[in-house]
Chain A
Amino acid sequence: MSAAEVASAPSRVRPVAAWARLLASELRLIFGRRRNQVGLATLFGLVVLVGIALKVSSLRHPGSTGGDLMSAVAGNGLFLGFAGLSIEMALFLPLAVSVLAGDAIAGEANQGTLRYLLLAPVSRVRLLVMKATSLAIGALTGAFVVAAGGLLTGIVLFGARPLTTLSGTSIGIADGLWRLALAVLYLAAGLTALAMIGLFISTLTEQPIAATVATAMVGTLLWILDAVPQLDWLHPWLLVDRWPAFIDLLRDPVFTDRLVAGLWVDAAYAAAFFALAWLRFRRADITS
């Protein structure tokens, strides 16, 4: 039986189905990879560890409650979902996103699979959009796993009850979960913007590790710059400056100013670096 005998006549292109098939193939590749599974497990495990540490400390010093998020966890496990995001937002989540982004183009180039994808053929714009989409899904998955890990650990160790917002009012558990979901989406947007920086760097090299390290360094540099008071004029323009603003979702009513501004900054970074990646990739000589 030859390939020609079983092949049907060239079928009509169904763009949505074809797009979904390509993206599904990419996601299988990302989530089927042992390294990425271990990475997600690590993100999850870190929040569990923090939960256990908080539990131990609440047993040693019962009744000592401060006003911050960490102290609130002892009174209500739901808060550990938010606390988990807060803990992993600066280093672990950006690192995870950097690993995926570094792989996106440089990983394929390094293995030589990039040339065969392009010959399949996948147009370059389609390939880049597909990679960007899979990175966004990866970023969302990372944030979701952290929040879910915190939520589960918190409920098991501290129980769930209606939340007291930062404004002092009380909201129901369902409302609290809804706000946690929004916080996940909000941080995922910021991480996706970082992933677009990584995607651009990934088009510059054939070494995925180099792209990953460079992206992680950019992320870290942004946090450092954001912490230098003398640079306060620069802070509003830094990608990470408003990431902690997800905490505004715990106010009643939700304080949206910083969140909206943060989303605009995310969108601007994502668009700019996706455009740079496209400018670089569309005419690049594929010699790998």
Chain B
Amino acid sequence: MTLAAEAVADAAADRDGAAITSSGLTKRFGKQLVVDDLALEVPSGAVYGFIGPNGSGKTTTIRMLLGLVRPDAGTCALLGGTMPAAGGEVLPKVGALVEGPAFHPYLSGRANLLRLDAADRRSDPATASARVAAAIDRVGLSAAARKRYRAYSLGMRQRLGIAAALLQPRELLVLDEPTNGLDPQGTREVRHLIGDLAADGTTIFVSSHLLAEVEQLCTHLGVMRTGRLVAQGPMRELRALTAIRFQVRTPDAELALATVAALGVTDAARVPAGVAGSLGEVAPERIVAALVNAGVAVAEFAQVTPTLEDLFVQLTGEGFDVSG
């Protein structure tokens, strides 16, 4: 990739194979430090979940990545081009949904997309109509394509916003809260859509405060808290940070506690149904065997995978509330 802007690209842009990089990215609004020394690294082909409470600086980060807001310090690069300088080269390959959809209320969905297409000087006017129709079809909005945007429901607006991001074949999609306002059916459709796009090799950077959503979609994770990136990496590695727990349903809780303690489980405790604890290094099958040998009546043994929220709480030491 040869970009004019590479001449001014810094180390952040040189890291090869990363769709998004940033180093030292910092932004203040007035006195408030909104984004603080951020070092993002989103590998090409990843589905990167960017999570954090409302107000943790996700959207400001996204605006900086896309060149809408200037960082006070640090640099960021999209697809190898330093932003905002390389925007003209890079942005045609990036589809984005930033802080909800926004369109002209008196134009139809189709006319709105045609306007955005006309704004991109590289787009081919000859294929505009077909591309707009395809993008609208892909988000299931064909029936309402010629309705005025103001008549759209919240979910339809969100779909049109996603359609705008799909007007061209993209190498990178930046989706800020893509399922906001969608019904369960719509949420599932968007999840499938993201899965399909990722399967085609598109890198996807999706911000969300819905942890369950991210859990189902993402291969990589970045966790924001009050403007700082508190953790980042492949989902598997981050998940390994949280202890996997087990739960035994049994009437013989005392005996079960003693048995698992003998196996080296240090934090076993009584729960209403029986006994629970962290697996640690102990293999689950050994626990079951030991319990049965000890004569404990095991009604159920379950391995409990921690939720992303457990991980988040562990990483930040705090609940998932609005950041100050």
Contact = CB atoms under 8 A, between A and B. Distances in A.
Interface of A: 1-8, 10-11, 13, 15, 17-19, 21-22, 24-25, 29, 32-34, 111-113, 115-123, 126, 283, 285-287
Given A33-B106, A119-B96, A22 B127 contact: no
Contacts of A8: 124, 126-127
Main secondary structure of the interface of A (DSSP, over half): helix
Contacts of B68: 115, 118-119, 285-287
Interface of B: 29, 63, 66-70, 87-88, 91-92, 94, 96, 98-100, 102-107, 114-122, 124-127, 130-131, 134-135, 137-138, 164, 166-169, 200
A113 B105 CA distance: 10
B138 A111 contact: no
B262 to A, nearest CB: 59
A286 B69 contact: yes
A269 to B, nearest CB: 28
Contacts of B63: 115, 285-287
Given A4-B169, A118-B68, A21 B125 contact: yes
A25 B117 CA distance: 10
A83 to B, nearest CB: 35
A13 B134 contact: no
Contacts of B104: 29, 111, 113
Given A29-B115, A111-B102, A287-B63, A120 B125 contact: no
B107 A29 contact: yes
A80 to B, nearest CB: 34
A89 to B, nearest CB: 30
Contacts, number: 114
B205 to A, nearest CB: 14
Contacts of A121: 87-88, 91-92, 119-120
Nearest to B87: A121
A33 B138 CA distance: 29
Contact of A123 (B87, B124, B125, B167): B87
Given A1-B134, A29-B107, A112-B102, A7 B169 contact: yes
Nearest to B64: A285
A25 B115 contact: yes
B119 A3 contact: no
Residue of A6, A118, A119, A121 ringed by the most chain B CB atoms within 10 A: A119
Given A6-B131, A6-B134, A25-B114, A117 B121 contact: no
25 contacts: A1-B134, A2-B134, A3-B138, A3-B167, A3-B168, A6-B127, A6-B134, A7-B124, A7-B168, A8-B124, A11-B124, A22-B118, A29-B104, A111-B104, A111-B105, A113-B102, A115-B98, A116-B102, A116-B103, A120-B91, A120-B117, A122-B119, A122-B121, A123-B88, A285-B70
Given A1-B137, A120-B116, 17 more contacts: A3-B135, A6-B130, A6-B134, A8-B126, A11-B122, A19-B121, A111-B103, A112-B100, A115-B102, A116-B98, A116-B103, A116-B164, A118-B68, A119-B91, A121-B88, A121-B92, A285-B70
Given A6-B127, A119-B91, A18 B121 contact: yes
Nearest to B127: A8
A36 to B, nearest CB: 11
Nearest to B167: A3
Nearest to B116: A120
Nearest to A120: B119
Contacts of A22: 118-119, 121
A119 B102 CA distance: 12
B211 to A, nearest CB: 26
Contacts of A7: 124, 127, 131, 168-169
A3 B105 contact: no
Contacts of B98: 115-116, 119
Contacts of B127: 6-8
Residue of B102, B138, B169 ringed by the most chain A CB atoms within 10 A: B102
B4 to A, nearest CB: 13
A276 B102 CA distance: 27
A7 B120 CA distance: 14
B102 A25 contact: no
A116 B138 contact: no
CB-CB nearest 10 A-B residue pairs: A112-B102, A121-B91, A120-B119, A18-B121, A4-B169, A25-B118, A286-B68, A285-B69, A11-B124, A6-B130
